[in-house]
Amino acid sequence: MKDMPQLGMGTFRLEGEEARESVSKALDVGFRHIDTAQFYGNEAEVGDAIKTSGLDRSSLFVTTKVWHESLGDAHFIPSVHESLEKLKLEYVDLLLIHWPYPGNDITLESYLGSLAQAKADGLTRHIGVSNFTIDLLDKAESILGEGEVYTNQIEIHPFMQNKKVVESCKEKGIRATAYMPFAVGKVMKDETLMRIAQNHDATPAQVVMAWMEKRHIYAIPSSTSKQHLAENLAYGGVHLTDEELALVDDLDNGERIVNPDFAPAWD
């Protein structure tokens, strides 16, 4: 079973033709992990790009996420079938709960049970969560069993390193996956990151990717530019010194970008 690549291509906020073209470019330059979600409204375009790429299914790692409205017993599995139909795939590699359910009418046990069912039915190879706090991770592990939660996808970038949650993930053997790793472009303008990038003839984005790999964090940056996609993928040539890694560590100021009104009480 294919492991999740260190770097994936995120598709949040990409719609229609732009989504299809961006995923096509990403696959063309060598990305093999594509991350989408029911809520993004672009699963069909992502599926088109995958289908027309001509790439072998076994070489790809595809992630999608179940939205709030589909977490109830009656909707969960049908919504996954609908996602697969749009993606034109028989299974996804990773299926996530997009956000912990904010209401009281659907229990955690119920929708995590449906998530486990999707895996048992062969609709996904791995299951995981997104935007889960330490308390929710503890509960998820007790419901699903040790080793079942493949990843927790959370906001992580140099200015919001989510260290407590990342540490909790590591203790449980759960992969921490960073969304918004470039803090909506803010990393490109940060003086520390720009200085480190100059030392390596690299981009600030590549510095962030190299730092994340050293900190054992997976990432799914988003880009519509073929050049930027190729640059992101080439971050492996950037070897940061311990001093440089520490400089990036020191940029953490808890600056959270994604904080909707239905978010859980963050750690």
Starting at the earlier edge strand, list the strands of the sheet with 92-97.
Answer: 9-10, 33-35, 61-66, 92-97, 124-130, 149-155, 175-179, 217-219
Specify the length of the chain in residues. 267
DSSP code for 229: H
Catalytic residues: 40
Q: Where are the alpha helices (DSSP H) in 35-127?
A: 43-53, 73-87, 108-120
Q: What residues does 219 pair with on adjacent strands?
A: 7, 178
Please give the structure tokens belonging to residue 201: 């003839």
Cβ proximity of 40 and 243 under 8 Å: no
